[in-house]
């Protein structure tokens, strides 16, 4: 297994001989360690950036759908 560093993140390349269960465990540890979410941008992120939109969940979700961010979130959520 090789290790490399990008900015302040250190990555370990998983062993190609890992079983599927070991890969799931490895990726879940990485997600916890670096606080990776299954979506790129969601309602909570938008409200954090634009507090006036708090309480307008339908509007924000419509905008995310119109901008096709929901499709990006779907693809991102499939990543290991």
Dihedral, 52, 47, 75, 20 alpha carbons, nearest 10: -170
For residue 5, the SS3 value is strand
Tens of pLDDT, residue by residue over 13-63, are 667 787 888 888 887 787 777 766 677 888 988 999 999 999 999 999 999
Max Cα distance, the chain (Å): 50
- Is the pLDDT score of 1 beyond 50? no
Domain edges within the chain: 1-36, 39-80
Among 63, 14, 26, 16, smallest CA distance to 43 is for 63
């Amino acid at each position: 297994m090789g290790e490399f560093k990008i900015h302040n993140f250190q990555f370990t390349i998983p062993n190609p001989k890992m079983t599927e269960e070991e890969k799931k465990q490895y990726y879940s540890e990485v997600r916890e360690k670096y606080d990776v979410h299954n979506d790129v941008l969601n309602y909570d992120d938008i409200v954090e950036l634009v507090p006036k939109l708090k309480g307008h969940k339908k509007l924000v979700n419509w905008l995310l759908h119109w901008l096709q961010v929901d499709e990006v979130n779907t693809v991102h959520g499939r990543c290991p």
